[in-house]
Structure 1
Amino acid sequence: MSTVDKHPSPGLPAGSVKAALSALRQLVSGLRTAILALLVLLFLAICTLTAPVGAGLLLAPAVLHAMHALAGMERARLARWGLEVISPEPPPTGLLVALIDPTTRRELRWVIGHASRGLLLGMLGLGLPILAVRDTTFPLYWRFFPADATATSIGIGTATSWADALAVTMLGVGWIAIILGFAPVMARAQAAPGSLLLSAGPDTDISLRIAELTASRAAALDAHATELRRIERALHDGTQNRIVSVTVLLGAARRMIARDPVGAEELLERAQSAAEQALADLRTVSRSILPPVLADRGLAGALTGLAAECAVPCRVDVEVPRRCAASVEATAYFVVAESLTNIAKHSGARRATVTARLAGERLLLTITDDGSGGAVLLSAGTGSEATGTGSGLAGIDRRVAALDGTLRLTSPPGGPTTVKVDLPCGS
């Protein structure tokens, strides 16, 4: 599976540019884990050198724990770019057993490769755009350079005329061509060792993943049943009562029309008002099933509309260049709607922020506020319970779990509160 955008428009420059930019972002994201891998490798070397005097044996458990944590970080990074890496079973805790464990050996091989090749590719992903911008725009500032200064980004040649400056620009165009042609290849090369070495091996028991999928399916069924109960309750407690009221008022008006036309007119006005309220309730319920604003304005427009209606000033930043599946967009809409409702009711916040990003085949949502914090999400079985501020978190968690997504909550006392949601949206 490709770890960059799988749907660039073939033959179109816009598609190539989009794929290249996505690949550069992926390479830069890998640079962080590559630097951490280099640090882990350095500590491993220190442990090995000091093992004969005993110091290395004392540090080994901490270094192994750091390596396992870094491997988990890389799996999460690859998942954000559309490459799901199934985690193996947790490695054993004993030092000697952990050292000979296949998972530990595979992670060590990945650390060595990522600290070298992955670091180099990440630096190229960061440096190539800088070189391209520097050389392409050279004619704009070349006259301000000292006469003996190097003109090109590769340290060759000086510029004494416009012809020299334009030659440097052509070098910048070459950097752009390299980015467009090779950035996706470099991103795949950087991600390949992680997908190969950090996933569960062929001898690994896949019962854990089966259990996860079973739990996800149970959560989907539970979320569906909960949604049906909510719709039934909304129709029963709201719309049905108003329609009954309309029927009663019309019957009373029919009996009064001959002996008290004025009173019958008042009853008819009340019946009309009740009918209009029942129609408004029906529209509200229908919008809660699948908001038509998603079909009309897309996810960006729908989230902007939610922010505009929020009682707390809210900023929206959406970067989703293509449509996702209807179920994914609906889940994202309801996650943001419920989160903003919680913020308005419980947080005491003065401002909130909603961001949405499409990273590979994952839709990433982040909702933050500067309120009092204290929200807690407790997972239990296939569902969740929320305590503290924002009791709707349990419903959000069920919706996200139904799509095999993940929800992370950070809400220390005193704030801020951050809800991060990761939804798979492969088409």
Structure 2
Amino acid sequence: MAARQRKPAETRRDGRQDDRTDDRTDARTDARPGGRRGVAARARDLFDAFEHLVGGLGTALLALAGLAWLVLVALTCVIGLGLLLAPTVPRVVRSVAERERSRLSLWGPEIVGLGPAPAGVRAALADRAVRRELCWLLVHATLGLFLGLAALTLVVDAVQDVTYPLWWRTLPVEDPAPTPVFWDVHDDADAWAVALLGVGLAVCFLALGKGMARLQAWPGRRLLAPTADMDLSLRVAHLSATRAAALDAHAAELRRIERSLHDGAQNRLVAVTVLLGAARRALSQNRPGAEDMLERAQETAEQALAELRTVVRGILPPVLADRGLADALAGLAANCAVPCRVDVDAPGRCAASIEATAYFVSAEALTNISRHSRARHATVTVRREGGRLCLRIEDDGVGGADERHGSGLTGMRGRIEAHDGRLTLTSPPGGPTTIDVELPCGS
């Protein structure tokens, strides 16, 4: 059964929801097979595939350099110089492999790094991980390099050929005139033939781009992933660290609730008790002012009740439990000082702890946007892809967010990693800032 598409919640600068668009029209448009959402998704997939291939081309060039260094060391061993340089080979191979692990972790399941390579040639050759990295180096320096160059050539040639009719007359007049194809171009008909060839190249990339990206990444995911025993030990260490972070986050949350109750509601309830006692004594002695004291006590009690409700909402917002993540995020957007759009397409409900984590991460991020980003617009996008809940928070502010300088990002990361999730922050100086969150939510 097809998932119901939710209409993005638009919020104006005054914080109220904008209902000017028609939900049914948007739902029909988005649900149509050739609708805007489908075209945008396919375009984004192709752009991601091209970005993966170009990134793989960069690590393939590094792998080629590492392979060249390996061959050079092997050849110079004949004269003895290579024996002195041999210990550097495992470190070079591990360094290049770590770059590829980081790249692949950005585009899919994380591949955990293995740390420094073993010291010494014999220890390195005895290490199964190093041997697998050497196999990957050979494959990626050849197949990965070829696929990256082929993708880059396809896209560049397609753009050049499609636009050729617009600029071919500016080329120097020679006989024959230089052309990007194997035939001479003498008139507009020949130029449009070049453009038609460019369309064919573009279609080739549309058909093959995603497959090329997967093929380029496959050796890395196959050979650079930790072996079963090492993966288990790394997993235990990671779970121990995230468990400690979860306990720290829980303790910090308890301290926050205690401070909120102690500094707010508790003080007001003490004031209510004092006022009621003074009013009772004034009534027993027939002194004036008892009615004013009772009125002040009532106002203070109402303030204490409001603060208690705020603390309760900070623990788990009722709207999140009653109406789900989409409505809870819409409420956050409505109260955000920056105009915010919410787009949720996550059919079904996730575990309460996962939804609460997504909610509080969004709340913290929108608070940071309001206080520090100087942004004009923000967007919160939620998608459920397979067994993971994907959350993206974007703004068009000044950027420069740094987890090392506070701003709540450390707490967000700890809360996410406690669920075995992942947070990726992209915030170059000048903006924009993007926070990508992945949380496991079952199938």
TM-score scaled by length of structure 1? 0.68
Q: In 1, Cα distance between the equivalents of 2:202 and 2:334?
A: 35
- Where in structure 2 are the equivalents of 1:255-274 lying within 5 Å? 264-265=291-292, 268=295, 271-272=298-299
Residues 147-170 of structure 1: CA distance to partner in whole angstroms, max 9, x if unpaired?
A: 55445x445442512x33433333
Answer with 247-256 or 33-42: which moved more: 247-256
Give 1:188 deviation, angstroms. 0.5
Q: In 1, Cα distance between the equivalents of 2:314 and 2:184?
A: 65
CA contact (8 A) 1:150 1:159 kept: no
Paired AA for residue 402 in structure 1: A
CA contact (8 A) 1:249 1:270 kept: yes
Give 1:339 deviation, angstroms. 7.0
What's 2:438 paired with?
424
Q: In 2, Cα distance between the equivalents of 1:224 and 1:283?
A: 19
Paired AA for residue 404 in structure 1: D
Give 1:187 deviation, angstroms. 0.9
2:238 to 201, 212, 216: 212
Give 1:196 deviation, angstroms. 0.8
- Where in structure 2 are the equivalents of 1:315-330 lying within 5 Å? 326-327=355-356, 329-330=358-359
CA contact (8 A) 2:162 2:199 kept: yes
2:420 to 394, 404, 412: 404
Q: Does 1:120 pair with 2:116?
A: no
Q: In 2, Cα distance between the equivalents of 1:155 and 1:426?
A: 53
CA contact (8 A) 1:113 1:193 kept: yes
Q: Does 1:51 pair with 2:77?
A: yes
Compared with structure 1, are the counterparts of its residues 370 and 83 closer, same or farther at alpha carbon in structure 2 (3 Å cutoff)?
closer
What's 1:34 paired with?
60
Q: CA RMSD in A?
A: 5.0
Q: In 1, Cα distance between the equivalents of 2:44 and 2:99?
A: 26
Compared with structure 1, are the counterparts of its residues 320 and 22 closer, same or farther at alpha carbon in structure 2 (3 Å cutoff)?
farther
Answer with 129-138 or 112-121: which moved more: 129-138
Q: In 2, Cα distance between the equivalents of 1:49 and 1:83?
A: 38
Unaligned runs of 5+ in 2: 1-30
Paired AA for residue 403 in structure 1: H
CA contact (8 A) 2:282 2:290 kept: yes
Give 1:254 deviation, angstroms. 7.1
Paired AA for residue 34 in structure 1: A
Paired AA for residue 424 in structure 1: E
What's 1:386 paired with?
none
Give 1:89 deviation, angstroms. 8.2
Q: In 2, Cα distance between the equivalents of 1:118 and 1:38?
A: 10
What's 2:111 paired with?
85
Give 1:57 deviation, angstroms. 2.2
Paired AA for residue 326 in structure 1: E
Compared with structure 1, are the counterparts of its residues 42 and 33 closer, same or farther at alpha carbon in structure 2 (3 Å cutoff)?
same
- Where in structure 2 are the equivalents of 1:53-202 lying within 5 Å? 53-87=79-113, 91-146=117-172, 148-151=176-179, 153-158=180-185, 160-161=187-188, 163-202=189-228
Q: Does 1:282 pair with 2:309?
A: yes
Compared with structure 1, are the counterparts of its residues 364 and 38 closer, same or farther at alpha carbon in structure 2 (3 Å cutoff)?
farther
What's 1:238 paired with?
264
Q: Does 1:333 pair with 2:362?
A: yes
Compared with structure 1, are the counterparts of its residues 393 and 149 closer, same or farther at alpha carbon in structure 2 (3 Å cutoff)?
same
Give 1:98 deviation, angstroms. 1.0
Percent of aligned pairs sharing the same letter: 39
Q: In 2, Cα distance between the equivalents of 1:270 and 1:113?
A: 78
Unaligned runs of 5+ in 1: 1-7, 310-315, 377-388, 410-414
What's 2:41 paired with?
15
Matched pairs, number: 382
